[in-house]
Amino acid sequence: MTFTTYTRVFMAACAMQSATYGLTFLLPELFAQIGGTTADVGSVLSVTALTTLAVVMFLGEATKRIGVMAPLAASGVICALSLILFARAASIDAMVYFAGGLLGLGWGLFYVLGPIALAQVLKPDQRVTQFTWLSTFVMAGIGVGPIIGYLVGAKLGFFLVSAACLICSASFAALTPHHRNLRVTRADVENDLSFRSATQVMTSRAWRPIVMVGLGASVFAAVLNFQTVYADANGLSYAVFFLVYTVTVIIGRLVMARFIGTHAPYGVISFLMAVMTAAVLVLLNQSSNMIVYIVASTLFGIGYGVAYPIVKAMAANDARPELTAATLQMFGLSYFVGVFGFPFVAGVVITTAGIPALLIIAALLSCVEGGLAYARWRRDRTVVAMKSGD
């Protein structure tokens, strides 16, 4: 198999399996069909968060023993089983919580090991391009997931994507021979995150992007995980929102980010957070106008979609050299707490106070993230000015 064929198969598999996460945005609709509430969605996703965090923290030693591709292939089977259990659920019982736990396990394995597997077969000068493509295919899969559910119905959508996950598993298994002589090292997966190293990370300059990604992921979860509820309440099509958002993010990451200079990254992030806040406020104040809905989706795609990779880059740049791996691990933990943990809070808020209250909270969180970026930008400008004065 040539390198080109390998990357095509790998990228296609990653796109298909990423639809698994996209389907979590349809859980409110699926749960409503079996008597569940948004609070139930949040509770199930909190279980997903716990298993995902466990994978992120403890996967390192296992991969050093058995390699990357076996657990990566297994992730497809685990995700498929999770989706099948969700689709077959007749009520909110232990089975849906078990499905949520499996989802966290499968997605955690895929999310952590996918980039590592790709990195193993790349030369250093290929990584920037190939990782850009990887993030693009993953985002495309996430966006397509809820659209599939919209077109064929939530339950059938879960069954179809579960079949796709099994194809992904077979694809990853077929690629295994290319990894037989490649070993996973500590540089690939850091597995010794401790209270001491976590404390060191959070007392370094890297604390800011770590907190920021958690806030951004919470806003992301608030807007996307319950977009079906919002669209239904306003007589809109959530498929339009996800389609526009996905296209915007892909274009933003591939094109726009290349033209935003890197001399003042925190200034760029603060601007993008202002855009994201505007998107949430548009959603808060609009009713049933499809054009306005598309504008909100576009603004959110620009704000969150372009900001996320910049925030991640700043986490790596601000990390102390000896704590780079631990810093990126803390970054991942913060992201997963927001993206899978915040829906628990969001579900309760919707049940007790409604969608507007959730959007107000999301706007406030976005403002806090923007404020952190702006404060750092001002501080960096002051330091540069002082050095120039010297």
| Cα distances (Å, whole numbers) of residue 121 to 2, 15, 63, 170, 379 | 12, 19, 16, 19, 40
The Cα–Cα gap between 189 and 116 comes to: 8
What is the model's pTM?
0.88
Q: Tokens for 29, please give them.
A: 């609709």
The pLDDT value given to residue 5 = 87
The pLDDT value given to residue 236 = 94
The Cα–Cα gap between 385 and 325 comes to: 32
Q: Are 350 and 226 in contact, with CB atoms under 8 Å apart? A: yes
DSSP string, 89-150: --SSSHHHHHHHHHHHHHHHHHHHHHHHHHHHT--GGGHHHHHHHHHHHHHHHHHHHHHHHH
Q: Which domains does the chain have, with CATH numbers?
A: 1-179 (1.20.1250.20), 193-390 (1.20.1250.20)
Q: Which residues have CB under 8 Å from 269's CB, separation 6+?
A: 212, 307, 310, 311, 314, 370, 373, 377
The length of the chain is 390
The pLDDT value given to residue 63 = 72
The pLDDT value given to residue 350 = 95
Q: Are 272 and 181 in contact, with CB atoms under 8 Å apart? A: no
The pLDDT value given to residue 294 = 96
DSSP string, 174-216: HHGGGGTT----TTT------HHHHHHHHTSTTHHHHHHHHHH
Is the four-CA dihedral 261, 263, 269, 275 of positive or negative sign? negative
Which residue in 379, 346, 356, 375 sits closest to 38, CA to CA? 346
The pLDDT value given to residue 192 = 53
Which residue in 28, 35, 24, 43 sits closest to 342, CA to CA? 43
The Cα–Cα gap between 195 and 188 comes to: 21
Q: Tokens for 5, please give them.
A: 């064929």
pLDDT along the chain (390 residues), means of 10: 84 95 94 94 94 82 77 95 96 96 94 82 74 86 94 95 96 86 52 74 91 96 94 94 94 72 79 96 90 96 89 84 80 90 94 95 97 92 68
Which residue in 60, 69, 50, 59 sits closest to 6, CA to CA? 69
DSSP string, 147-170: HHHHHH-HHHHHHHHHHHHHHHHH
- Mutual angle of helices 324-336 and 207-224, in 10-degree steps: 20
Per-residue HEC secondary structure of 44-64 comes to HHHHHHHHHHHHHHHHHHHHH
* Number of Cβ atoms within 10 Å of the Cβ of 14: 26
